[in-house]
Each structure stands twice: as structure tokens, then as C-alpha cells.
Structure 1
Amino acid sequence: MEFRGAFTALSTPFTADGEIDEANFRDFIEWQIEQGIDGLVPCGTTGEAATMSHSEQGRIIKIAVEQAKGRVPVIAGAGSNSTKEAIELTKMAKEAGADAALQITPYYNKPTPGGLVEHFKAIAKEASMPIVLYNVPGRTGLNCLPAHLKAIVDAVPEVVAIKEATGNLSQAAQVIEECGKNFNLMSGDDFTVLPLLAVGGCGVISVTSNIMPAAMSNMCKAFFDKDHEKAIDLSLLMAPVNRAMFLETNPIPVKTSLKMMGIFKEATFRLPIVPLQEENKPKLEAVLKTAGVL
């Protein structure tokens, strides 16, 4: 399976009292597809999966699959630092009809390279489906180096892609060197999407595409069409937005942006995430206006 282009790490709309707003989520997915997004990723970091129960995660994945109706692939966040929990979540993703499971490297535990191999082997044994390994050392405290990834891919054929969120282009290039040109290297860092494509990447799992799906998708398409000037122009357009999405911890700025745009009815978060600080709202609004989002 090939994952090509821009996939949105979907933000999850909550009602004012903190419940999942299913109707708003369905409308949001429909807007993403209308805007030309290439794929959807529910229940990742941006979707606040860490504050959801397993049943809520299963429901969100099911809604995304139902609403996508096969028009674009769905990569379902199903990872955990507990292998047992990751297996349970992956089974739910598979039953819901997701095209792949996004599996974060176990956080806090800091497993050895051998432990990583056994973690992914156990998941694939119990719930075999395409797996996108998510490497984000800034959140997990563990960096899955290219040699470690190669060992995982050799032992677990289900691992067909990586969401590489180190921002390290040298490491990203080495992924292709180790795993081959047919391995799906996806950016997990909106600041480095275009250069990552240039070293052999196939796309991005993006935060910014929550609010600029057409721009992110069109940038990837322009690169693949060898229209590099257009790709660079779109990259430059999104650069200030990429920075603004990290004015505070993700997903605070992106969900606030979606509320400013009128796409989300509320900008409700679950603790320990809190709303955007008042002094950052004018900064965020100014960037969105300059980018033509507002």
C-alpha cells in the first residue's frame, strides 16, 4: 500500500461540555475531502487521543471510515506504550475498516531496539494490517533510528511506512537508504515537508492541513508533477502558519484556528490541555489572515 500526498492528522471537535461532537466531526471530514486532502488520520496527537477512552477512540475511527466512504485512505491512531493496549486498539481499527494503523513507538518505557521489534511483532501477530510507525522523540523520549527501523521492517512486514517527526533531514534520508525507495517515508513535521519529499518521501501527516488542506495537498502534487516553483510558493505560504500551529502545545493553536474559521463550533479541550492564552490569540489571527485562511 502506498500513502501518497497530504494526510490530515485530524483535530477532534468536542462540545462545550467535552463530549465528542460527531456531527461536527463528520462535516469537518467532508470539508477536508472537498478541499482535496489525500488521506485522513483520526486519533493521533492532534486528535487528543491521549485523553480518550478506548471506546471513544474506536468510535472516532469508525466515524472517519464511514464518512470517508473509501474516497481517501484512513490511517487510524492505535498506538500505546502498553503493547497489550496497542493490540486492542489496532483490533478496533481493523474492525472499523481503517486502511492502516498509526503506531507510536512506546513512550515513557523507553524500550531497547529489541523491545521495539517485539512490540511491533506482537501487534502484527494479533491484528495484522498495514502499520505506519510514528517516530516523535520530542513526545516519546525515544528516537527510532534508521537502523532500528530496518530491523523492525525486516521482522514485521506489516510495517510499511514511517511518520518521521524528528525534523532531521539527514535521518529521514537515511530511512530511504536503509529501507529502500519503495518504503513509505511520511513527514510528521510540517516545517520540513518539501525537503523531505526531495530525499525520497511520499507525503505528510500534517497538522497545518487541518486548516489549509488544499494548500498542503497541492504542494505535494506540485512536487510530484515536477512543478517545483509552485511547490516552493505553497511551502512559503504555509511556513508562517506552520510556526503558528506551535505557538503553544499542539493541538491548542490548530483547534483554536478551526473555531476562528467557523469550522468547529467550539474550541473545547480536555485537561491537561487548556485553551490558547489570550495574548497569543491576536498573533494567531494575524497569521491566519495573512495566509488567507480568515
Structure 2
Amino acid sequence: MLHLHGVIPPVITPLTPEDEVDVEAIHRLTDHLVDAGVTGLFVLGSSGEGPALTPAQREETVRAFVKAARGRVPVLAGIGEPSVRRAVEALEVAAAAGAAAVVATAPYYFLHDDRHVADHLVHIAGATDLPVVLYNIPPATHSVITPSILTTVVRQAPNVVAIKDSSGDWDAFQGMLEAARQLGVAVLQGAEALIGRSMLAGAAGAVPGIANLTPAVACALVRAGKDGAAETVDALQAALDRACEVYRPGYWLAGLKAAVAQRGLCTPHPARGLPRLDPAAAALVATAAVAAIADEERHV
């Protein structure tokens, strides 16, 4: 089974001004990330605008990242959907496009209790031979994948290999770590502010959106945490926190894409219908991005 560890950025999906997938930019972004030391690419997550893209765009995105990766790192494809049938259709497309694993969320839109969340995930995992990563993101799904749900799903679906936790809840994350140790699955921290602390506590890795901008800092932070180098962790966590200032002037995703555009890797455009930055916010993001890039050069 796939062994997930290190930094696996939830990659942005570069788009052209006409709202089409920018394949050339995907190749530039992939090389930028792989050269910095990431150990995988998670496409079509929140940072990748998966829910905002058409099915054809999602398929094209997976294929483009798989081709750009050239086998250097695995490509994980998000298949977050509100129903089992839609999720299974999405995972079949992702598998055909070459994804090494799929990433499944709790169902969303309709309200679900713990039993239904577990059933949803078990059915999805049972529909594929690919490794499956669970993705706990309560702000988006309005359902929580608890340690108890994780245990239920893993015992019924042995191809579940990891969970990404983006709840930002430290106490819940500690419970997830304990459950995962007993189950033999990896836990990946998705909340940037908790990466250093999580690595020192035994997390396998991190899935930070800001790694699109400063991947070398994120990779160094994860390595320092694995090594138990607490002082280095503190310094690198502070650098990563400063880079996250690009999220603050406006809509966070527009800020992230505009910041990555400062590196010449893509356009700043989110998918059509998502908020964009006004000129004042764009100027603030540009300033924060330039500072973050300089900070990365100092620390790594």
C-alpha cells in the first residue's frame, strides 16, 4: 500500500483567463514543488477548487498533474461528493486518469450522523483497489470524521491508508493520532498553524495549502519535526505563519493563487464564480508574497 509522509501540498489548479485548465502552468507548478522536496501532490482539494470545476476540468487536471509528476511523486485525487454514487463515479475517472490514490470526504449538504458518515466512506473505499485517504474538513462538509468513525472505516476497508485532518482542533487531532497508531494508518495535518506541533507529536506529514507558495519552508518544517528539533521547528513554523499572511487581505483562495502568481507559476485567477481580489487586496497579497519568498530563501 501507499506510504504517505512528508509534505503533500493540496495543489492549486492553474486556470487561464478564459477559465480553462492551464496545462503548461501545471507543469511549472509541479516542477517547483517536486524540486523543493514534496512527497506527493493532492489535486482537486479545497486549494485545487475541485468542487468549483466541471467534471471534464477535473479529469483534465488529474491527467495533467500525473503527466507532469512523471512518476516522481504520487498524485492523490480528491473525490469529495455528497453521495456514494457521485463519489464512485469521480474515483473511477481519477483512477483512469492515473491517480495513485483518492481522497474522500464525509458527505455534505444533507445532515448525517456518525453511522451514515462511516457507511459513506466504507462504500467508497470498497468500490476501488486504490489506496484511500480520508479528509476531515468539517467547515466544508459540516460533518466530522471522528476517531471512532476512522476506526470503523479502517476495520472494514483495509485500503484506507491515511487521514488528513483540517479541523484545526488540536484536542481532536491528538485523539486522531492515538486511534491511527492503533490502526496503522498515517495522520496528516492540514492546518498550517499546527504543523510543527503535530510533527513533534508524531504526525506522518502535512498537507498545507501555503506549500504552493513556500514548499521548501514546509518541507524543512516537517523534517525538523520528525527529527524532534524543537527550536528549528519554532523558527520554521513562524516563517510558515508569516507566509500565511497572503490569505488575509481578501478571499483566501484568491490570495493564495495571486501569491503563487508572484513566482511566475500561474495566473491569479480562481474558477469563475469564486471571489477575486480587489486592487487594494491584490497589492497587499503581492507584498506579503514577496516577503514570504524572501523569508524562504533565508531559512532554507
CA contact (8 A) 1:29 1:68 kept: yes
CA contact (8 A) 1:40 1:75 kept: yes
Counterparts of 1:94-173 in structure 2, within 5 Å, are: 94-173=95-174
The whole-number CA distance in structure 2 between the counterparts of 1:61 and 1:101 is 11
TM-score under structure 2 normalisation? Answer: 0.91
Offset of residue 243 of structure 1: 4.0
Aligned twin of 1:255: 257
Amino acid at match of 2:58: Q
Aligned twin of 2:38: 37
Query: What is the SS of the residue equivalent to 2:260?
Result: helix
Amino acid at match of 2:231: E
Offset of residue 203 of structure 1: 0.8
CA contact (8 A) 2:82 2:107 kept: yes
Please identify which structure carries the higher helix content: 2
Offset of residue 277 of structure 1: 2.6
Q: Among all aligned residue pairs of Structure 1 and Structure 2, give the percentage whose two residues are the same amino acid.
A: 23
Query: What is the SS of the residue equivalent to 2:207?
Result: strand
Offset of residue 290 of structure 1: 2.8
The whole-number CA distance in structure 2 between the counterparts of 1:288 and 1:84 is 40
Amino acid at match of 2:20: E
Offset of residue 76 of structure 1: 1.0
Aligned twin of 1:92: 93
Structure 1 stretch 41-50 or stretch 173-182: which is displaced more? Answer: 173-182
Counterparts of 1:192-211 in structure 2, within 5 Å, are: 192-211=194-213
CA contact (8 A) 1:261 1:293 kept: no
The whole-number CA distance in structure 1 between the counterparts of 2:5 and 2:203 is 9
The whole-number CA distance in structure 2 between the counterparts of 1:126 and 1:13 is 30
CA contact (8 A) 1:75 1:100 kept: yes
Amino acid at match of 2:93: M
The whole-number CA distance in structure 2 between the counterparts of 1:198 and 1:292 is 25
Counterparts of 1:239-278 in structure 2, within 5 Å, are: 239-264=241-266, 266-278=267-279
Query: What is the SS of the residue equivalent to 2:272?
Result: coil
The whole-number CA distance in structure 2 between the counterparts of 1:206 and 1:291 is 15
1:215-236 Cα shifts (integer Å, max 9, x gaps):
1011111222333322221111
* Structure 1 unaligned residues grouped into runs of 5+: none
1:185-234 Cα shifts (integer Å, max 9, x gaps):
10111111111122221111111000001110111112223333222211
* Structure 2 unaligned residues grouped into runs of 5+: 296-300
The whole-number CA distance in structure 2 between the counterparts of 1:204 and 1:110 is 29
Amino acid at match of 1:76: A
With over 3 angstroms needed to count, the CA separation of the structure-2 counterparts of 1:209 and 1:101, relative to structure 1, is same
1:222-267 Cα shifts (integer Å, max 9, x gaps):
2223333222211111112224325433311110111222221x21
Amino acid at match of 1:224: K
Aligned twin of 2:83: 82
The whole-number CA distance in structure 1 between the counterparts of 2:249 and 2:4 is 29
